[in-house]
Structure 1
Amino acid sequence: MTKHIGRLRGRHRVSGRAGPVRTHWAAAALLALSIPLAGCGADPADEPPGEAPGAAVVAVQAAWSRETAPGQDAGGAFLTLDNRGAEPDRLLGGSTPVAEDVQVHSVDMAGGVMRMREIAGGLPIPVGGTVTLEPGGYHIMLMGLREPLRQGAEVPLTLTFERADAVTVALDVRPIGAEGPGEAHDD
C-alpha cells in the first residue's frame, strides 16, 4: 500500500498549505474503498475446512465398543453417522493407537451362517441421511488389537471419509454383552 500512496503523492501534489492534507485524505479514501473489496476475489481453497458452502460434514454420535477378552485380536466399534453436508459421503476406515487396522464391515446371513466382511469402497452415507453401525449390522472392526479393550475405558478412534474431514471420537468401552451405548457399566 505504501507504493500506491507514494504514486498518489507524486501525481496529485497540490501547492500551498492544503496540499499534504488533500494527498493524505485521498490516500485514506482509496484505502477505505479497497478494504470492502479485498474479499471479492478470494480463492475458495483459502476457506477453512468445513466452512465452504456444500462442504462435506459428517457428525458422529454414540461411539462405543465392547470389552474384549485377554488375547482376543479383534474388537468391534459401533456409532451413528449423520451426513450434514450437501453431497453423499463414504466412511472409508480409520485409525486407533490400540489396533493395527480399522476396517468397515457388514454382516450378512448365508445358509444360516452369519458372515462378516470388509466393505470394498467404504460405507455410503447419503445426503441428510443417518447410518447406524451396530452389533449384527454394519460395524467397525479394530483388527490386530495391541491391548485388550477394558470396560470403562475410552479408546480414541479417528474415522476417515471420502469427502469430509477426519473425525476423532472416544469409544466408550461397555461390558462384553452390551447391545448399545446407553447400558450401565457393571462396576
Structure 2
Amino acid sequence: MILRSIAAGLLGLALSTSALAADIAIDAPWVRASAPGQKNGAGYLAVTNTGQAPDRLLGISSAAAGRVELHTVVNEKGVASMRPVEAVDLAPGATVTMSPGGYHIMFLKLAEPFKQGATVAATLRFECAGEVPVNFEVKPATYTGTPAGNDAGKDAGHAGHGAHKH
C-alpha cells in the first residue's frame, strides 16, 4: 500500500514536471557560422511563456562551449556594449525575442567552430519550467535574422564578439 502511494506520487510529480516544461515555447533558435579564429558565438531565439504563471530563464548550458551566458546590449553615451544578465523574466503569455543588438546567448570558448548547416545542442534552464532542450541552427556567417535589406547596421552591438574576452 505504501509502495503504491509512493509510486503514484512519483508519477504525479513526473507528469507535473512535464506539464511545466510545456509552458515554454522556443521559436527559431540560430547562431552564425564561425569566422576563422573566432572563439565565441552568439545565439538567438524567441522564448514564449505559454503558461499562467511568471517564469524566468536562469541560464543555458552546452557542450559546444566552455561557458554559456545570457547577455544584453546596453547603450551608454552612444556606445553599445554587452553585459551579462542573471536572468530573463517571462510574464505569462509574454515572448522575449533574443536578437542582434538586444538579449542574446553568448557561447564562450567554443569547443569547435560553428559550421553552417549544423546544429548546436543546448539546454535552457528555467526557474519553473526546468530544463528545456534546444537545437540552434547554424546559419551563414552573414545571416542577420531579419528580411533581406531591412537590417543594415543592426548588429553593431555585436562587433568584435569573435575577440570578446571573458
Q: What's the TM-score bracket when you normalise by the shorter of the two chains?
A: 0.7 to 0.9
Query: How far apart are the structure 1 equivalents of 2:44 and 2:104?
Result: 6
Q: What is the root-mean-square deviation in Å for CA atoms of aligned residues? A: 2.3
Contact 1:64 1:181 in 2 (8 A): no
Give the equivalent residue in structure 1 for 2:137: 172
Moved over 2 A (4+): 42-47
Give the equivalent residue in structure 2 for 1:101: 67
Gaps of 5+ in 1: 2-37
* Greater RCO structure (CA 8 Å; 6+ sep): 2
- Taking structure 2 as the reference length, the TM-score comes to 0.76
Question: Within the alignment, does 1:64 sit opposite 2:30 as a pair?
Answer: yes
Q: Aligned pairs, how many?
A: 141
Task: Mark the CA change 1:70 to 1:150 in structure 2 (over 3 Å): closer, same or farther.
Answer: same
Question: Within the alignment, does 1:50 sit opposite 2:18 as a pair?
Answer: yes
Give the equivalent residue in structure 1 for 2:100: 135
SS of aligned partner of 2:18? coil
Quote how far apart the aligned CAs of 1:165 are. Answer: 2.3
SS of aligned partner of 1:180? coil
Query: How far apart are the structure 1 equivalents of 2:104 and 2:134?
Result: 15
Q: 1:149 aligns with which of 114, 121, 133?
A: 114
Quote how far apart the aligned CAs of 1:95 are. Answer: 1.1
Query: How far apart are the structure 2 equivalents of 1:102 and 1:116?
Result: 14
| 1:89-143 C-alpha deviation (Å, 9 max, x unpaired) | 11111111110111110101112211101112x0111111111000111100011
- Percent identity over paired residues: 41
